[in-house]
Amino acid sequence: MTDVALDKTDPAGSLPSTEKEPDDIIEENNQENPPATAAEGEGAAGGLYRYIKGDLFTSEIFKVEIQNLPKYIGFNDLKKFLNKHGVNPHKIKLFSKQMFAFVTFKNQEERDKAMKAVHGMQWKSKVLSVRLAKPKADPILKKRKQEEEAEGGQPGAKRAAGSQEGEEEEEGPLNIQIANAVTPLWNVPYEEQLKRKEKEVEGVLQKLTREIGNNNKAMLPWLFLQKEKYNKLCCPLEAIRPSPVQTEYRNKCEFVIGVGADGEDKTVGFRLGKYKGGSCAVVSPAETSHVSSEAKRVVQGFQQFIRTTPYAVYSPETYEGHWRQLTVRTSRIKQTMAIVFFNPQKLQEEEIEELKRNLRQYFTEGEGQESAITSLYFVRMGQRTSAGTEDLPCEHVTGEEWIHEELLGLKFRISPHSFFQTNTPAAEVLYSAVGEWAQLDQDSTVLDVCCGTGTIGISLAKRVKKVIGIELCQEAVEDAKANAEANGLTNVEFHCGKAEDVFPTVLNAVVSPNVTAIVDPPRAGLHSKVILAIRRAEHLKRLIYVACNAKAAMNNFTDLCRAVSNRVRGAPFRPVRAMAVDLFPQTMHCETILLFEREPCAHGKQEGAFNQKLTNLNIKLNDSALQFFSRCPKKPPRVKQTSCHI
């Protein structure tokens, strides 16, 4: 992960990271050697493991292998198990079929603590064992070594000719390759794209239906009726809402700077593949369909500038070089922000200040004027020396400090690190749907969790008594406060901090007859502490979950609905409506909205309706049948003269 705050929506407009992610360097084979042995064996200076040397951070040097795991456990099961026993992993890679996992940590102390805690522990009748694991070889160097070995075993001319022909046939022109990489549905008719995305969301609801049946037996009568009404789903899935625009829709793009796939040095664009796939080649975004013409103009101007400088592009392989990344943000009112990421290496402060002056002059008085940049920032992005992911300081170079956007008739200011939905017209569709589903009135209090610049809460503020927003990014909170003031709102307040730290306190302090929470978290979903706080707050009756990755949020959905236990207090929620909104045309990504409502305390009416329905079907469902159905939710039992789908 780079040290810059990345967009939490789809990756199509985001560059593959120029820093080796811990995910990118996790061993995929069962290795026994500790890191020291690996480095010695390959030669630390130029071998496959040289990245673990020096003071650069990689959790690969603090990696262990956990063996003899129980069958049928998932990633979340393992993570919960480790957290329960005081173990805080940095990254986990689970191989469920082989019943082992690789786990990395932020430092040696946490790794050693985990080894002592987990080794010999029993989990579901399995005794776990832990040992040190070898780091993964550098993907680029590994691929290069494999190519050299393959080349050595085949006549050079014959192999080269055959290889070139195969590559051309398989990969095609660069503009097609990059389109396939960042907009894989570019050649699929839009109606078909929508059908595929709706099918994906339907699959998520099918899984949620099974999870509810497995984790809350008391909901089985309700679930039976829901599945009969909604085609085996736990709630109705409404028709997907399309994006008003299908091309040039992204208002934020992150471009990597590297050697072009065509051999041109200092190319600004998107990578053809990921570093862990052994690729660093960069292709210009000039012919991509989702990047705006304004952003393309900035990329072209910036590329011309860096090619006139003596500074090389940063190499994730050797850690040398300077130019790393360009982020471009645009708005519908024709404002453009450019953020330049530069590794200072050992340059003197005078050289860096001179470079910033040259940037300012180029974009305000020189050829770069055509880029029409209204806000320019410079970020010193050195090597990571710890596991921290805080936003790097942005040095304002020229122009305004912010750009501004209009959404649903409201004005919003946006800072360099602040989150704002990347497709503004489609965001209006999304937020309008949220407003429709929230069932708000003048007595309502809205809790806007992971609020970014306050867009959702501010768009609803005039319809409710109070809006309370929670956001991790300090810049975004400052923007949200300024946005509320700019729109003349006095019933809005914002709190900065981790949702799991701030939300429970804020929620307990709310006194309102009608409290609705709206959560729009990053891809990984909400922290379990937030979900548990929501469950405990019985006065919170309605929750709207906006998920940019519904599959990753499944654990959140399940915890909202699972039965009461020692860990999970408070009546469970039920999913009552679901819908997809397409914010990312030409990709497989979309936003999913789920409306959850608190389950009534009394189950009498529900069970009565359920039993009446069974009577009409000439079926008598007793406790034994309920138990039987819960064991086989995917394949409903067949009954004489009729079928009963659970």
Query: Could you tell me the two tokens for 240?
Result: 């997907």
Where in 430-520 does DSSP place strands (E)?
Answer: 444-449, 466-471, 492-496, 514-519
Dihedrals phi, psi of 36, to nearest 5 degrees: -60, -45
CA-nearest of 353, 296, 317, 233 to 20 is 317
SS3 call for 136: coil
Q: What angle do CA 242, 246, 252 make, to 5 degrees?
A: 105
- For the sheet containing 91-95, what is the strand order? 91-95, 100-104, 63-67, 129-132
Looking at the DSSP bridge assignments, the partners of residue 260 are 282
> Is 234 among the residues known to form the active site?
no
Concatenate the DSSP letters of all residues of 319-351 into one string: ---SEEEEEEEE-TTS-EEEEEEE--TT--HHH
Number of residues that make up the chain? 646
Active-site residue (options: 548, 561, 590, 644): 548
Strands 126-127 and 122-123, how do they pair? Answer: antiparallel
Rounded Cα distance, 194 and 581, in Å: 9
| Binding-site residue set | 421, 471, 520
CA–CA dist 336, 236 (Å, integer): 41
- Name every residue whose Cβ is closer than 8 Å to that of residue 375 and which is 6 or more positions away in sequence: 335, 336, 337, 338, 398, 399, 400, 401, 402, 403
379-392 CB burial, b ≥16 within 10 A, e <16: bebeebeebeeebb
Q: Which residues are annotated as a binding site for S-adenosyl-L-methionine?
A: 421, 471, 520
Whole-angstrom CA distances from 594 to 76, 88, 189, 514 are: 21, 30, 27, 19
Smallest CA-to-CA distance from 332 within 418, 410, 431, 396 is with 410
Please identify every residue annotated as catalytic. Answer: 548
